[in-house]
Structure 1
Amino acid sequence: MSKVFPAGPDLDRARAGDDDAFTRLVEPLRRELHAHCYRMLGSAHDADDALQDALLRAWRGLAGFEGRSSLRSWLYSVATRTCLDVVQRRGRRALPVDLGPASDHAVLADAALTDVAWLGPYPDAGLSGPGARYEQREAVELAFVAALQHLPGNQRAALVLFEVLGFAVAEIADIMNTTATSVNSALARARRIVAEKVPAATQQQTLRMIDDARLREVVSGFATALERGDADTMVALLTEDVTWSMPPLPSWYAGRSPVMDFVRAVPFRCGSWRHLPTSANAQPAVACYLWDEAAGVHAAWAVNVLDLRDGLIAGVTSFQGVEHFTRLDLPASLP
């Protein structure tokens, strides 16, 4: 017989139509449900919309919740189905590496591609602290979320629900309205694809091996090198196989020499920079502000999310656009 979870007073009140009671029920789970939607969709904006839609569906369908699972499990079921509907309508999000080969020299006339659904950064403020699960921080890292985008919706959902959230195969089959055999098959395919695209060591594992002083040195060195146009400092911070991409620009660079050719030709020549250290996707990041003569301020330009390896920078993803600063609760300008 299935275990029946007892209904609390707020659940009874919510079923009776009490909005406040429903809010109290879902508020402690809102942040983790939002992160789940981001993993599935690759966009914090899409996660906003999906979570809002999922909670509306849950509110309307609360009478059908029989308590045979926890409310948390049931809400994840609703959120997952909502995200699968979005995936079916919109497809996947991309990074420049998904669109074509790396450029071996700086592309000066690179134009933004507005018809591409780009992967976006994720604010990780709610994923730190003693209550945050290590696996859930790993599961918002850029490499993992980008790899998920290469999976069909059913494989994406199965992998996240099983590997990240710890749902049983039978529970996932129920959520996705399929069989346990289909779930196991989806998991096997998903694991193969993700293993090909995600580095063996996660950023969480890497960061745990770097002492705080070295991490501060790398982040501040990166920012200082950009502000001063210091090529020697920048080169010393990069791995030989470093990559640099700048969505929504399609060009990207692989290898220290092409990356430095780009850095010397573009960021070093753009004008006066200022920077703020931050974090995104549970990774160190640097927010870049470029001098705007007309406004008389350094204006938000790009959020650089850093991938580290062996105490050096192995990847830079520069997310251009003030909307990313707003999402990460960063100022739109610096005096």
Structure 2
Amino acid sequence: MRIEASRAETAGLLAAARAGDQEAFARLVGPLREELRAHCYRMLGSVHDAEDAVQDTLDRAWRNLGRFQDRGSIRPWLYKIATNRALTGIERRGRRELPIDLSPASAPVAEVAWLEPYPDRLMSWTAELGPEERVVALESVELAFVAALQHLSARQRAVLLLREVLGYAASETAGLLDTTVAAVNSALQRARKVLDGLLPEATQQRTLGQAQREVARRYAAAWEAGDMDAIVAMLTEDAKYSMPPLAAWYQGHDRIRAFLAAGPMAHRWRFLPARANGQLSFGTFRWDEGRGVYVPAGLDLLVLRGTRISEVVSFLEADFADFDLPVELGSDEFPDRPGL
């Protein structure tokens, strides 16, 4: 279970915050900020939109602290505000265009092209969870799951996350969403039906074994050597390659090989390991002849099926600073690959 402040400590901080002590308020809500951000990311599919929603949540909580009815924990109240902020954000931006078919057999998880990768460093709060809760929390930011969520209505999305990721009972969820238990149960049933047709059979292997680490090392080395045959040989026959926010994607050895030959293989590369959405990722750096350095090209997230790569999602607009990656690499710099 998540470790929270004692009831006496919470009551003391709450009383001080209600009296105008901003530092007490920060201590009260600070431990919950990261998990609120993860919740808003699942709802919105964007790290930056999620951060805006969390900031708005905390601003509103501060201004409306007098309305909070203390029942021992401020957490449900913050989730109520955060969920409503995310719902409002979805409503304001409109329902973004979704592909007609996003079944696991035919389309990449990142065909929902506006999705952004989520840095693993923002999931440090899960260390305080029990083993089962931690697995659920980490699986809930996997790219396939977040992509599938975007096919639900906003209300279905909120219900499914509150019930099955955060563990709130139907009655609690109804209270958080200002609706009825019957409406919650109906929305959950519809959400499950949609997700059953979208999610792959198995989730990403979170802890890399020696064989998977060796695949990752060979994959990075093949790119740096410009060995297209080696890259393709590491892919499953039905592998997919996509590049959000571009809509184009490629499936199968022949199409991926043709794509690589037409563009990426004309460049020199360096790969540096990163972690995003709980999955193996690389910061990719392309040689810039004019500047004489390797510059960021994209964050490549790899989905492994056993010891082969079943999908590559290359986020072309990822902010490398979010993943603790450098802004450039020197001409003779071959980066270490810790953990691989």
Q: Report the residue type matching 1:216 in the other structure.
A: R
Kindly report which structure 2 residues correspond to 1:58-69, keeping only aligned pairs within 5 A, or say none: 58-68=61-71
Q: Does 1:56 align with 2:59?
A: yes
Tell me the equivalent position of 1:268: 265
- Cα deviation for residue 176 of structure 1 reads 1.1
> 2:120 aligned to 120, 124, 131, which one?
124
Match of 1:241 in 2: 238
For 1:220 and 1:176, the matched residues in 2 are separated by: 46
- Mapped to 1, the partners of 2:87 and 2:60 lie a distance apart of 14
Change in Cα spacing, 1:117 to 1:236, as seen in structure 2 (3 Å) is: closer
Gapped regions of structure 1 (runs ≥ 5): 102-115
Q: Give the 3 Å change call, closer, same or farther, for CA 320–94 of structure 1 in structure 2.
A: farther
Structure 1 segment 210-221 matched on structure 2, within 5 A:
211=209, 213-221=210-218
Paired with 2:310 and 2:197, the residues of 1 have a C-alpha distance of 17
Aligned to 1:289: 285
Distance 1:217 1:229 in 2: 18
Q: Is the Cα–Cα contact under 8 Å of residues 93 and 117 in structure 1 kept in the other structure? A: no
Structure-2 change in CA distance of 1:257 and 1:147 (3 Å): same
Q: How big is the alpha-carbon RMSD for the aligned residues of Structure 1 and Structure 2?
A: 2.1
Aligned partner of 2:265: which letter? F
Deviation at 1:94, TM superposition (A): 6.9
Displacement after TM superposition at 1:139 (Å) = 0.4
Partner of 1:324: 319
> Aligned residue for 1:192?
193
Whole-angstrom CA distance in 1 between matches of 2:280 and 2:97: 21
Q: Is the 8 A contact 1:94 1:119 kept in 2?
A: no
| Mapped partners of 1:12, 1:99: distance in 2 | 52
For 2:27, give the aligned amino acid.
Answer: R
Check the 8 A contact 1:219/1:286 in 2, yes or no.
Answer: no
Partner of 2:167: 166
Query: CA, structure 1 residues 99+244, in 2 after alignment: closer, same or farther (shift >3 Å)?
Result: farther
CA 1:161–1:69 in structure 2 vs 1: closer, same or farther (change >3 Å)?
farther
**Helix, strand or coil at the partner of 2:42:** helix
Cα deviation, residue 328, structure 1: 1.6
Residue type at the aligned position of 2:180: T
Q: Distance in 2 between matches of 1:94 and 1:287?
A: 28
Tell which deviates more after alignment, 73-82 or 119-128: 119-128
Structure-2-length-normalised TM-score: 0.86
How many pairs align? 310
CA contact 2:139–2:278 (8 Å) conserved in 1? yes
Partner of 2:107 in structure 1?
none
**Compared with structure 1, are the counterparts of its residues 94 and 279 closer, same or farther at alpha carbon in structure 2 (3 Å cutoff)?**
farther
Letter paired with 1:72: R
The C-alpha deviation readout for 1:102-144, integer Å capped at 9, x for no partner, is xxxxxxxxxxxxxx97111001113257435111110000000
Counterpart secondary structure, 1:8 = helix
Partner AA of 1:313 in structure 2: I
Q: CA deviation at 1:83?
A: 0.5
1:69–1:91 Cα change, 3 Å: farther
Q: Assess if the C-alpha contact under 8 Å between 2:212 and 2:306 holds in 1.
A: no
| CA displacement at 1:268 relative to structure 2 | 0.8
CA contact (8 A) 1:93 1:149 kept: no
SS of the residue 2:128 aligns to: coil
Identity among equivalent positions (%) equals 50
Amino acid at match of 1:184: N
SS of match in other structure, 1:158: helix
- Secondary structure, counterpart of 1:200 in structure 2: coil
Cα deviation digits, residues 179-235 of structure 1 (max 9, x gap)? 1111111101111111211112111xx345x51x22221222221111212123212
Give the equivalent residue in structure 2 for 1:230: 227
Aligned to 2:328: 333
Alpha-carbon shift at residue 324 of structure 1 (Å): 2.3
TM-score (norm 1): 0.87
Aligned to 2:74: 71
Structure 2, unpaired ranges of 5+: 1-6, 103-111, 331-340
